[in-house]
Structure 1
Amino acid sequence: MIANRPLVVAITVCLGLAGLTASADADAQRRRAARAPAVAPACSDFYHLANAGWLAANPLPATGANSALAQLAGNAQTQQKALLDAAAQQPANEVQKLLGDFWASGLDEAAVEADGSRPIAPLLARINALGRNRELPATIAALHQVGIPVAFNFNADIDLKALDRHLGYFMQGGTGLPDPAFYTRDDAPIQHVRSRYRDYIKQILALTGTPANRLEREADAVLALETALATPSQALARINNPFNNYAPVAVAGLDRQYRHLRLGDFLKAQGVSAGQVSLAEPAVFASVDRLVGNHPLADWKAYLRWRVGDSMAPYLSRHYREAEFEFRGRLLRGQSTPPARWEQVLQAINLAAGPMLGREYTATHLTTADRRQAGLIIDKLRDAQIAAVIATPHLSEAARTEARAKLQAMKIEIGAPLRDLDYSVQPMGRGSFGSNMLIATTWRQREEMRRIGQSNADRRWEVLPQQPALAYDIAQNRLIATAAVLQPPVFDPAATTAAKFGSFGALVGHELSRAIDHKGALVDARGELRSWWTPADQTAWALLTSRMERQLAGLAYPGVADARINPALVRDSALADLSGLELAWQTWQEIEPQAGSTQRQQFFSAWAQLWPQAVSPGEALARQTGQVQLPGPLRVNAILANLPAFGQAFGCSAGQPMQLPADQQLQIWP
């Protein structure tokens, strides 16, 4: 029977042979695998090994992200809350009394609700009383004085030709959407945002007194006026470049050039007496000048009421807060729920009176011993960076001389600014949170305006002491370590010396390198804006960056399907990470040359444990296109793979995932 079915027999035989062959191949593969040495976990994926506990305890969120450094920031917030709770109950000094009252007024939601629009009633009354366009400039100036910028922006910032001095900058502004393009583009997503924005404008106008029968017309008028302000304005990406905003002009000629705006009177109202300010967008201010002179006053009044209500909405009653959150929080920022009330109040206090809270935070949470220990580590790293600069072949003799001078002149500030704002803020009391916000923002605005024309730029920190930050300030050539950053996992006073250098030390080294990299080379040791690199120095840097780009090219972006790292976006930060690790390792080795394998492993584990993260798919996609640092897994694995010391500490062989072959490894410092 079977003989009569040759095809069936043939198929059966072939299938049998195929099965035997496959089985033989599998056996051969198993034998080869058994003979091949296993790759130790530390040598295949050190990030997941070092952070296994954290990753197990912190699952992937549905939205947003979590990380070890985000938890550090959250801990700093909890510390601030405890400080403010104590200040509200039993203040130890006058500053604590002010802060405690401010805090209590914000947490009293019943009082905030009962307050309604009362905190902004005087501002609204002034706007409603406007009778002629010629009265507009004084009202615009008055709103700027209380920290509500309308029609344009005016801020104190560094004078690019004298980096120790502040200059007043007139800039485009006075609009509520994120970029001027939101007012002019007609694609569907932008139109949707504009439609929702108009709805939000209507809500705020209704809360600030517009009758129902005028809401549609006034909302259209506000949107039209903001569109007129935005149309001649520059894209956000362009104005974020400080060089595009720097155009010093004499104050004396401004009133003749912009006769309706009366910018000279504006400056006097802000308390600014400097003879020079920056105004880089004359076309924008010519347009604002025409609008102030000729645009219907009723439209201006609606716009000003809207800007007051919008600016103050987070600090007023529930209807204001909910309207603001639905547009800015849910639509623009993608938040699903608003922060807890205490977080909202803390954010407000940091915005309006942050330096006051910073001084109290530093006094409470930074010990003299920790400050001294952090300072010693920074000094050791700076000495190592100077030695590395002297020995490097990457820089010319002239560049080595300038880099050494710049590093030696670098200021180190730990904890809080050595000098900062005047703390004579007016008593705020517990009666009205919205009124307290206006008192505090008026005080902050006054202090900012006092900087203009003064050589006191070294008094400004761009971060608050209670915010975890370790940063290099290129304009003032200083390294800043805030009080809040001197906590685990960045700085653990109880950790071994090896771990301190692997975490805090490596981060310090990262920032030190920024003083002398391609951007740091734009400011010299005397604080003058000039490039001190030769063409040969620039070529050497280009070679380093191209080698780093080649390493990173093609690496998968964690959490984003089929996405790759953008090497040009992250290369500078990656080079600084590698530089920092090299310097920290060399410095620690000199301090503890006899350290054993356990301590050497602690050094690298401390670095890895800075970077665990749990990132939702949506957030990962946003970071892939915009974040200038490597994501956590690659900040560990891709950087450590360059260090022979890592391979020696964990017994990794060249060519394994965590140890690049020697000819592919990148070394920055000899």
Structure 2
Amino acid sequence: MRRVGLGPPTAASIRSGGVAGRGRYSDRNHSSKDVAVIRSSLPLVVLLAAATTASAGALHGIHPEDLNRNGDACTDFFDYANGAWRAQNPIPNYMDRWSRRWQSGEVNKEHVRDILAELSARTDWPRGSAGQLAGDFYAACMDESRVDALGSKPVQPWLADVDAIGDKADLQRMIGKLHDVGVNVPFIVYAGEDLHEPSRTIAHIYAGGLGMPDRDYYLKTEPRFVESRAKYLEHVAKMFELAGAAPEQARQNAQTVFAFEKRLAEASLDNVQLRDPKLQDNPTAFADLPKLAPAFDWGTYFDAAQMPRDAVNVTQPKFLQQVEKELATTPLPQWKTYLQWHVLNTAADSLSTSFVEENFAFNGRFLTGATEIKPRWKRCAEATDAQLGEALGQKYVEKYFPPEAKVKMQEMVKNILLAMDDTIRELDWMDEETKKKALEKRSTFFPKLGYPDKFKDYKGVVVSRDSAWDNLVAASRWNVADNRSQVDKPTDRSRWGMSPPTSNAYYNPLQNEIVFPAGILQPPAFDLTATDAVNYGAIGVVIGHEISHGFDDQGAQFDAQGRLANWWTAEDNTQFTSKGQCVVNQFEGYFIEPGVHHNGKLVLGESIGDLAGAKLAYRGYLKSREGKGPEPTIDGFTPQQQFFIAWGQWRGDETRIETQRTMIQGDPHPIAKYRVNGPLSNLPEFREAFQCKADAPMVRPEADRCEVW
């Protein structure tokens, strides 16, 4: 579903970071703002319809009522598996996509809300305790009348501080001050594993500072990008007006911001290039940083950030050279305007309703197609999870992740890892030398299930009920400092990149770990009352997917110790690349509308993950039945059919066209229809389960069939 450890931090993944959030690659589409902004939603009715079971008290199978009985599994499995559910459950106005899986994620937020409501109802928690921090953070966020009464007042001192910049030294001081709370402009400094010695953590310098989703929104000439630029200029101007600028000055400010960001975009890698770890592997001695950006006082910056002056990795040297050019040539008034915009952009959702609504108008309504904003409780629950996720997570796992769930997941992970071993041994295109290395890497996989063994204590964070913005700044400052504290230390493998309530999963190649928070280990992905066929078809494919990331076009460049190092023979690497090209070609042929199709190179890693994930999970399921005998046919569906239907029903999102366009542009994940139909059309096991004819649309011709693992 997602990979961490590669690429710059972004808004929708690693939750333990600045005001704007941090992360790498996410299963969820996102713009430059936090996914909490653009995935608006309202309270929903919990739908947990149980499928008819073979007998009272028996484990249940798939949801037969979700099937499109007029459809055909061998023609369009995405439509067949849950077409009836999608027809009866249109995308809510506040969402950009919808399925049982997304519905489950929203129900999960109701669980989080209930915990936070209970915590915030008490005012006698010990100061600094998990209950006090999470409860007061949520309570301040929920005090809408106070937030509205304050308007833009909470952020005005920050805007004034930017306006007071008098020289280049002041400018650099302000950049550092913004970085302290996660406003990462124009670049990002983030602690992470050394690509060549991942047992050690170093500072990485990434490109940052854009207000639109990625560089292509500033540069491409297709009509949808031209329209995005026009909408963005309107949005930036309106935000400046809300902060007190006169209309004409606000429009001028927007032009200044756009021109500045466009120059940064021109110096940035595109989304496909960002998938190549070698392009971002530029270890640099601290003393050599001035060669890239001599106008920036790196010593003062690192000292103020309390980071050692150690070697760093500059992921995009060309970008840093552009920052140097801006420091040398761009007038201070333009810098001020640019920085003030990013303060406003970051703060918008912690300010009054007018800011929230304008922020949603661009990042929600325009970019995703959602027409209503989420209720305040949901946005506040997401914000609390984003900033204090492990304080909240302690309470979450107590209620929603029983010990037997962890035991069951451990068994499933074990079986699917063993299936990967079998698959590697059976490959006819890989020689014994490379197989040995692949098996060695597989043997070092490190699963994390449910929650950390040790929760963060958030010591020193001061949270009150007085100001939602001040709380956000305080929590962000702690998270940034916590990340920086890891620089030049042995990598702490106990740390997690997601909070326990998160409904997502990830693979980190630098630690060779697969991670499944408790939030995703809920129905319909994982259900202790479901058959093994259903669980292996849903969460099992996700497990296989994350394992496969260790061997996709990116993960395969990292060895058993997590080092960016080649472990392939030249001939095997050529074979592997050729097999990946088959997947590229397949997804290049998937269109969302005339003239707009997937970029096969962009979605290659995730598509290899889906293809191998389904195969591995199926083999893992067969292992789970060894010595037990087959599971029963339920509702007329064999266990094999239940397995594949479970995948189609869990993954079967209906997605707004606006979101599909954004995904096509920058998301490494294909849209749901092709995540279902694409991999399954390559699997003989699927064809056999549904007795599809050789010329059926869901059966790719043998000459075009893709198999990587």
Alignment TM-score > 0.5, same fold: yes
Compared with structure 1, are the counterparts of its residues 542 and 372 closer, same or farther at alpha carbon in structure 2 (3 Å cutoff)? same
- Give the aligned partner of residue 345 of structure 2: 310
* 2:281–2:315 CA contact under 8 A, matched in 1: yes
Compared with structure 1, are the counterparts of its residues 572 and 604 closer, same or farther at alpha carbon in structure 2 (3 Å cutoff)? closer
Q: In structure 1, what residue type is equivalent to 2:622? A: Q
Q: Measure, in 2, the Cα distance between the counterparts of 1:553 and 1:331.
A: 26
2:108 to 76, 79, 100: 76
- Give the aligned partner of residue 628 of structure 2: 592
Equivalent positions of 1:515-534 (< 5 A) are 515-534=550-569
Deviation at 1:469, TM superposition (A): 2.2
- Give the aligned partner of residue 18 of structure 1: none
Equivalent positions of 1:313-328 (< 5 A) are 313-328=348-363
Deviation at 1:512, TM superposition (A): 2.4
- Give the aligned partner of residue 282 of structure 2: 247
- Give the aligned partner of residue 576 of structure 1: 612
Q: In structure 2, what residue type is equivalent to 1:270? A: A
* 1:50–1:605 CA contact under 8 A, matched in 2: yes
Q: In structure 2, what residue type is equivalent to 1:83? A: I
Compared with structure 1, are the counterparts of its residues 369 and 363 closer, same or farther at alpha carbon in structure 2 (3 Å cutoff)? same
* 2:206–2:314 CA contact under 8 A, matched in 1: yes
Q: Measure, in 2, the Cα distance between the counterparts of 1:621 and 1:228.
A: 24
Compared with structure 1, are the counterparts of its residues 109 and 256 closer, same or farther at alpha carbon in structure 2 (3 Å cutoff)? same
* Secondary structure at the counterpart of residue 301 of structure 1: helix
Compared with structure 1, are the counterparts of its residues 42 and 191 closer, same or farther at alpha carbon in structure 2 (3 Å cutoff)? closer
Deviation at 1:325, TM superposition (A): 2.6
1:607 to 647, 666, 670: 647
Equivalent positions of 1:359-398 (< 5 A) are 359-398=394-433
Q: Measure, in 2, the Cα distance between the counterparts of 1:341 and 1:120.
A: 20
Q: In structure 1, what residue type is equivalent to 2:628? A: E
Deviation at 1:112, TM superposition (A): 0.2
Equivalent positions of 1:139-538 (< 5 A) are 139-180=174-215, 193-208=228-243, 210=245, 215=250, 218=253, 221-226=256-261, 229-230=264-265, 232-235=267-270, 237-239=272-274, 241-254=276-289, 258=293, 260-282=295-317, 284-289=319-324, 291-292=326-327, 295-419=330-454, 421-456=456-491, 458-538=493-573
> Which structure is higher in helix share?
1
Deviation at 1:275, TM superposition (A): 1.4
- Give the aligned partner of residue 34 of structure 1: none
Larger-Rg structure: 1
Q: Measure, in 2, the Cα distance between the counterparts of 1:470 and 1:130.
A: 42
Q: Measure, in 2, the Cα distance between the counterparts of 1:224 and 1:52.
A: 45
Equivalent positions of 1:92-171 (< 5 A) are 94-171=129-206
Q: In structure 1, what residue type is equivalent to 2:279? A: N
* 2:415–2:621 CA contact under 8 A, matched in 1: no
* 2:618–2:643 CA contact under 8 A, matched in 1: no
Q: Measure, in 2, the Cα distance between the counterparts of 1:584 and 1:379.
A: 8
Deviation at 1:493, TM superposition (A): 0.5
Deviation at 1:411, TM superposition (A): 0.7
Deviation at 1:637, TM superposition (A): 5.7
Compared with structure 1, are the counterparts of its residues 410 and 387 closer, same or farther at alpha carbon in structure 2 (3 Å cutoff)? same
Compared with structure 1, are the counterparts of its residues 56 and 534 closer, same or farther at alpha carbon in structure 2 (3 Å cutoff)? same
Equivalent positions of 1:40-51 (< 5 A) are 48-51=79-82
* 2:526–2:539 CA contact under 8 A, matched in 1: yes
Which stretch shifts more, 43-52 or 247-256? 43-52
1:486-539 deviation line (CA, Å, top 9, x unaligned): 111211101123332333333323332333455433222222222222234335
Q: Indicate yes or no: 2:90 matched with 1:54.
A: no
Aligned-pair identity in percent equals 26
Q: Measure, in 1, the Cα distance between the counterparts of 2:228 and 2:71.
A: 52
Which stretch shifts more, 312-321 or 459-468? 459-468
* 2:537–2:617 CA contact under 8 A, matched in 1: yes
Which stretch shifts more, 319-328 or 476-485? 319-328
The answer for unaligned runs of 5 or more in structure 1 is: 1-38
* Secondary structure at the counterpart of residue 506 of structure 2: strand
Q: Measure, in 2, the Cα distance between the counterparts of 1:201 and 1:502.
A: 45
Deviation at 1:95, TM superposition (A): 0.6
Q: Measure, in 2, the Cα distance between the counterparts of 1:560 and 1:619.
A: 13
Deviation at 1:431, TM superposition (A): 0.7
* 2:420–2:616 CA contact under 8 A, matched in 1: no
1:62-92 deviation line (CA, Å, top 9, x unaligned): 9943122212221222221122111111487
Compared with structure 1, are the counterparts of its residues 521 and 431 closer, same or farther at alpha carbon in structure 2 (3 Å cutoff)? same
Which stretch shifts more, 297-306 or 370-379? 297-306
Which stretch shifts more, 363-372 or 133-142? 133-142
Deviation at 1:101, TM superposition (A): 0.8
Deviation at 1:382, TM superposition (A): 1.6
Q: Measure, in 2, the Cα distance between the counterparts of 1:644 and 1:333.
A: 36
The answer for unaligned runs of 5 or more in structure 2 is: 1-69
Compared with structure 1, are the counterparts of its residues 637 and 88 closer, same or farther at alpha carbon in structure 2 (3 Å cutoff)? same
Q: TM-score, normalised by structure 2?
A: 0.77
Q: Measure, in 2, the Cα distance between the counterparts of 1:631 and 1:145.
A: 36
Which stretch shifts more, 161-170 or 278-287? 278-287
Q: Measure, in 2, the Cα distance between the counterparts of 1:58 and 1:614.
A: 10
- Give the aligned partner of residue 61 of structure 2: none
1:129-181 deviation line (CA, Å, top 9, x unaligned): 43433322222211211222233322223321122333222333334344456
Q: Measure, in 1, the Cα distance between the counterparts of 2:516 and 2:695.
A: 36
Which stretch shifts more, 72-81 or 497-506? 497-506
* Aligned Cα root-mean-square deviation (Å): 3.9
* 1:42–1:658 CA contact under 8 A, matched in 2: no
Q: Measure, in 2, the Cα distance between the counterparts of 1:227 and 1:649.
A: 52
Q: In structure 2, what residue type is equivalent to 1:349? A: T
* 1:207–1:320 CA contact under 8 A, matched in 2: yes
Q: Measure, in 2, the Cα distance between the counterparts of 1:429 and 1:410.
A: 42
Q: Measure, in 2, the Cα distance between the counterparts of 1:596 and 1:461.
A: 39
* Secondary structure at the counterpart of residue 167 of structure 1: strand
1:365-411 deviation line (CA, Å, top 9, x unaligned): 11111011111111122223223433443322112222222222211
Deviation at 1:450, TM superposition (A): 1.4
Q: In structure 2, what residue type is equivalent to 1:82? A: D
Q: Measure, in 2, the Cα distance between the counterparts of 1:447 and 1:120.
A: 24
Count of aligned pairs: 629
Q: In structure 1, what residue type is equivalent to 2:524? A: P
* 2:190–2:484 CA contact under 8 A, matched in 1: yes
* 1:61–1:615 CA contact under 8 A, matched in 2: no
Which stretch shifts more, 394-403 or 44-53? 44-53
Deviation at 1:435, TM superposition (A): 0.9
* 2:677–2:698 CA contact under 8 A, matched in 1: no
Q: Measure, in 2, the Cα distance between the counterparts of 1:147 and 1:54.
A: 41
Compared with structure 1, are the counterparts of its residues 590 and 510 closer, same or farther at alpha carbon in structure 2 (3 Å cutoff)? farther
Q: In structure 2, what residue type is equivalent to 1:58? A: N
Q: Measure, in 2, the Cα distance between the counterparts of 1:443 and 1:327.
A: 30
Compared with structure 1, are the counterparts of its residues 583 and 120 closer, same or farther at alpha carbon in structure 2 (3 Å cutoff)? same
Q: Measure, in 2, the Cα distance between the counterparts of 1:125 and 1:168.
A: 30
Q: Measure, in 2, the Cα distance between the counterparts of 1:370 and 1:666.
A: 37
Deviation at 1:423, TM superposition (A): 1.9
Q: Measure, in 1, the Cα distance between the counterparts of 2:666 and 2:264.
A: 28
